[in-house]
Every structure is written in structure tokens, then in C-alpha cells.
Amino acid sequence: MAEKKDTQVKKVAMICAKGTIEDVYATLVMANGAVMEGMEAKVFFTFFGLDAITKKYMNKLHTGTVGNPAMRMPGGLPFPTILGAIPGVEAGVSVMMRSQMEKLDIPPVDEFLDMITAGGGEIYACKLAVDMFKLKKEDLSDHVIDIITIGDFYAMAGGEGSQVIFT
């Protein structure tokens, strides 16, 4: 019988390209989980994912209430897309979601970045997207190490037991 041999994951390079609560938190939870397990974690924020590291928006992320079939009312009834289109509904739902997370001790985005970087995780912003959205280094969280190209990011993503994860 062939012996099963697993190579341990030692390093994750993550790319976050979307700016909804669920996309950003998926990235943050996985990055923080990696450093908590003693792994190396590097995160590259691009396109709308940049909201997660933009000072002005990072703690005000929304979840989409339109065209989201998994969206439900409290109690489990389906959430009609037409309701989600009413002004203020998306903001209200997003506030609710953030407060639910706080109850589980999941921190706001800025504090989450504090935690990840305290554990040695590294945060990068995509140069192309930063240029596109006309952002400057000072618009971004102080935890952003640098604004780099995807090529630069790949260059630091290698090594034995390393994985690239796109969220």
C-alpha cells in the first residue's frame, strides 16, 4: 500500500478582489487563522477589495442585498431582491451583519488588520487598482506595507508548502 504523505501548508498568499463584508471577512479570517497556526500569511488587496484597506471605507463595508439568493430575513424566510433595492436596506442589513459578527468576537476590519499584522501577517495593495481608483498611500491603512504589482506579489508567494488563495 502506498504511504500517504501530506506536505504541510506553511505559507498562504491571498488575493482579495471584492469589497463585500463576506468576501473581505473570508480573507481576513483565513489570513488571521494562518498566523494563529504559526503560518506565514501575505494578503494582496485589489479592485474593490481595496475598500478593506482604505481608511475611509474599511469599517463601513456592505453586503449585497440585491441578487443574493442566500440572503434571508431573520427567521429564515427568503429576502426578496426587490426589498433589497429600497434605499437604506443594504446599509441596515450590513449594520446587522457587523453587529452579529461582533457578538462572535470577530473584530471590525481595522482591528482585524491589527491582529493579523501583530502575528506577522503582511498586507499589500495592488498598484493597478490603486491607480485606477486614484488612491494614494495615505488613503490606505497604515498596515499596508507597500503598493506593488501582482508580479511582485507572486515573487514573494513561493516556497515549499505555500499556497495562493483567491477569494
Partner 1 sequence: MAQKTVAGVNLEVTDDGYLVDPSQWTEKIAKEIAKEENIELNDKHFEVIKFIRENADSGLTIRKVGKSGIVDIKGFYDLFPGGPLKMSTKIAGIPKPTSCV
123: Cβ contacts below 8 Å, ≥ 6 apart:
43, 45, 53, 113, 116, 117, 141, 143, 144, 145
Q: How far is the CB of 107 from partner 1 (least distance, A)?
A: 6
> Of 32-40, 56-64, 131-139, 140-148, which part binds partner 1 (CB under 8 A)?
32-40
Decide if residue 38 touches partner 1 (CB under 8 A).
yes
Q: Is 57 exposed, middle or buried (0-12, 13-18, 19+ CB in 10 A)?
A: middle
Nearer to partner 1, 82 or 104 (CB): 104
Q: What is the dihedral of CA 153, 156, 158, 164, to 10 degrees?
A: -40
SS3 148: strand
Nearer to partner 1, 4 or 134 (CB): 4
> Of 45-53, 64-72, 90-98, 106-114, which part binds partner 1 (CB under 8 A)?
106-114
Q: How far is the CB of 9 from partner 1 (least distance, A)?
A: 13
66: Cβ contacts below 8 Å, ≥ 6 apart:
81, 84, 85, 90
Decide if residue 141 touches partner 1 (CB under 8 A).
no
Side-chain-facing half-sphere of 101: CA atoms under 13 Å: 20
Q: How far is the CB of 16 from partner 1 (least distance, A)?
A: 17
- The C-alpha cell 491582529 sits at 115
Question: Which of 9, 29, 71, 165 lies at the binding interface for partner 1 (CB under 8 A)?
Answer: 29
Decide if residue 114 touches partner 1 (CB under 8 A).
yes
Residues that bind partner 1 (CB under 8 A): 29, 32-33, 35-38, 104-107, 111, 114-115, 118-120
